[in-house]
Structure 1
Amino acid sequence: MSFIPLWPASISGYSHQVDLLVVCFTVLIVALSAPVFILIVVFAARYRRGRAANRKHPVNRNVVAEVSWSAIPFLALIGFYVWSTELFAGLHRPPTGELEIDVVAKQWMWKFQHPEGQAEIDELHVPTGQPVKLTMASQDVIHSLFIPALRIKQDVVPGRYTGLWFTADKPGTYRLACSQYCGTNHSEMIGSFVAMKPADYAKWLSQSSNDPSLAAEGAALFRGRGCSGCHGPASTVHAPSLVGLYGKPVPLQSGEVVVADDEYLRDSILLPQSQIVAGYPSIMPTFQNVLSEEDTLKIVAYIKSLRPGEATQ
């Protein structure tokens, strides 16, 4: 873009709420600060030559006015704090039935992987009107995915997953970028965010690639790396079952109980000794520095796809 717009496009319900918050907070700040600066100018002009003050009687005090100009701004700011906190917390409460897209950040590019298998570099296609959840990982340093039209930004940190969700309402092509300095070519780590009508998105999916789904690629890696030798139904090794594991509580040898979310599955693959399941021996080898973040995301997608009645192969 050859210019910076005064007010970027707003294409989601969340972005409209953020805009409203910014406008209302700006109005509050102006309302609180403008009288001070106006009175400074008025008093400076009116009393520029000085005036004798009558000090015979104490100044009358209006307690109600003095309390009001402290209490009202305080309560207003508390209201803005609650409002902004609720908006922030909403970013981490995705609705059910969302479209899950995996993101890998690396110097200096964004790679997006759709569950159907389509992969994109520096371009993200999504359907309008449907919640989209991004599960993000970094291959090297800290990055930060920023989509101005959605008013959202999330750091992508090496060594763990971070997440973000949104619902785009207006079709079009918008800008995305890395907002965290990540090295020499940081300014070139930009791309396009393409919101499409559901029918157009389905057509794009059917035409963009014939690659296997993310879960299917993960299944191939699962077998190729020997994971099925321990976690398969015919295995003689005493290893936890992965069928229906995702989202369920997992008791650990330490006495803790954790939820088998994306982060837990990733750590179990790359750092298997960090959280050992109760009742199982600590024999799983680490795949850290063996699997890339992309391959790990594929295996996680495969494990998430396993449902009761299905068996690991």
Structure 2
Amino acid sequence: MSWSSLIPATSFMPIQATEIAKEVDLLYAFLIIASLVSFVILIGGMTWFLIKFKRTSVDQKSAYITHNNFAEFLWSFIPLVIMMGIFYWGMVIFEKLRTPPEDVAAEIHVTAEQWAWTYRYANGKEFYSSANDPMIVPAGKATKLILTSKDVIHSFYVPAFRTKQDAVPGKLTQLWFEPKQPGEYIVFCTEYCGTKHSGMMIKIKAIPSEEYAAWYHAEKKGADSPADLGKVLFAQKACASCHSIDGSRVVGPTMKGLFGSERKFADGTKAKADENYLRESILVSSAKIVETYPAAMPLFQGQLSDEDVANLIEYIKSIK
């Protein structure tokens, strides 16, 4: 028996493979029902007025309807309240879709290119959609993807999870999901990216978390982990001469506990030190100068590959 056979099918919508998928479908169902009710009220009312006030002779004058401020207020205010409720409801779901939990069980770097996906795990294992390799993730646990692209914009879309995120050249985006149970789920690219766009599909294979842990740790690494490679690069580029890893202050900010912290800059603005902030700070260090520190770091744009930057980021994330 395959894992996919455990998942019930539906003819109207894709399977609800995550808890958030249920919330998305509930909002969608409400929109359909509200639109249907609005349609019936509008078209039904218009039809009733056409019949009631139909002119039966040429000489007959049109009926005069007196002005009613209260009625005008109601037919404007009630839809406004409903629309604001829908907006808030959608905003809450969107926030859940875009904010991964703290206890992420797996973090995978996904790189898109015409017309394939590459996915690399934190222990250095790397797989390719061109080789028909599935993306292995734990069922019942949260998985975070960090996406980028080598060429054009691609879009990582999993219908069963009701989640989609663009993979953009020169930028890191993120997506997360938590499959409720084991199964296989199809991933589509939903941003037209060339002649073989429609064939740019992969499978996400969710397996029990215990089985995933055994698979992740038992298989031999194909290469050093991204964090290990980043540590080597950190030494090769003499980053330690300006950035400590033990919390002490030197020329530049320390790397200890940097990832996820709030940074305050010389111009008074603030930002969270996420993957995109680290990428920008590595390549274009002058973009955001941390408060009380000099603008002393050289620019590495054009000197480091996307893979080098990703490895450095993973190493910095590991310095707690």
Shorter-chain TM-score tier: 0.7 to 0.9
Say if 1:224 and 1:183 are closer, same or farther in 2 by CA, change over 3 A.
farther
Q: Note the C-alpha offset of 1:38.
A: 5.2
Counterpart check, 1:20 vs 2:26: yes
**2:244–2:253 contact (8 Å) kept in structure 1:** no
Partner of 1:138: 149
Say if 1:72 and 1:256 are closer, same or farther in 2 by CA, change over 3 A.
closer
**Structure-to-structure mapping, 1:196-215, within 5 angstroms:** 196-211=207-222, 212-215=224-227
The secondary structure found in structure 1 opposite 2:212 is helix
Q: Note the C-alpha offset of 1:263.
A: 1.7
AA in 2 matched with 1:135:
I
**2:14–2:159 contact (8 Å) kept in structure 1:** yes
AA in 1 matched with 2:226:
L
C-alpha distance in structure 2 between counterparts of 1:89 and 1:152, whole Å = 12
**Structure-to-structure mapping, 1:93-108, within 5 angstroms:** 93-99=99-105, 100-108=107-115
Say if 1:283 and 1:216 are closer, same or farther in 2 by CA, change over 3 A.
same
**1:218–1:301 contact (8 Å) kept in structure 2:** yes
Q: Deviations over 1:103-162 (max 9, x none)?
A: 222222222222232222233222122222222222222221111111111122223222
Partner of 2:117: 110
Q: What is the aligned counterpart of 1:275 among 282, 288, 306?
A: 288
AA in 2 matched with 1:158:
P
Moved more, 36-45 or 298-307: 36-45
**1:139–1:292 contact (8 Å) kept in structure 2:** no
C-alpha distance in structure 1 between counterparts of 2:121 and 2:168, whole Å = 20
Say if 1:47 and 1:95 are closer, same or farther in 2 by CA, change over 3 A.
same
Q: Deviations over 1:2-38 (max 9, x none)?
A: xx96421111111111111111110111111134445
Q: State the Cα RMSD in Å.
A: 3.4
For structure 2, the residue ranges without an aligned partner over 5 or more in a row are 1-9
Q: Note the C-alpha offset of 1:48.
A: 9.6
Counterpart check, 1:74 vs 2:87: no
AA in 2 matched with 1:273:
S
Q: Deviations over 1:159-193 (max 9, x none)?
A: 32222222221321111121112233322322112
Counterpart check, 1:157 vs 2:168: yes
The secondary structure found in structure 2 opposite 1:90 is helix
Counterpart check, 1:219 vs 2:231: yes
Partner of 2:199: 188
Q: What is the aligned counterpart of 1:120 among 127, 132, 140?
A: 127
C-alpha distance in structure 2 between counterparts of 1:281 and 1:38, whole Å = 69
Moved more, 97-106 or 222-231: 222-231
AA in 2 matched with 1:175:
I
**2:147–2:173 contact (8 Å) kept in structure 1:** yes
Counterpart check, 1:266 vs 2:251: no
Say if 1:220 and 1:53 are closer, same or farther in 2 by CA, change over 3 A.
farther
C-alpha distance in structure 1 between counterparts of 2:265 and 2:48, whole Å = 70
**Structure-to-structure mapping, 1:19-38, within 5 angstroms:** 19-37=25-43
Say if 1:37 and 1:267 are closer, same or farther in 2 by CA, change over 3 A.
same
Q: Deviations over 1:173-219 (max 9, x none)?
A: 11112111223332232211222211221233135542433322221
The secondary structure found in structure 2 opposite 1:247 is coil
**1:13–1:169 contact (8 Å) kept in structure 2:** yes
Moved more, 69-78 or 103-112: 69-78
For structure 1, the residue ranges without an aligned partner over 5 or more in a row are 308-313
Q: Note the C-alpha offset of 1:252.
A: 3.6
TM-score, length of structure 2 as denominator length = 0.79
Counterpart check, 1:245 vs 2:258: yes
TM-score, length of structure 1 as denominator length = 0.81
The secondary structure found in structure 1 opposite 2:147 is strand
The secondary structure found in structure 2 opposite 1:273 is coil
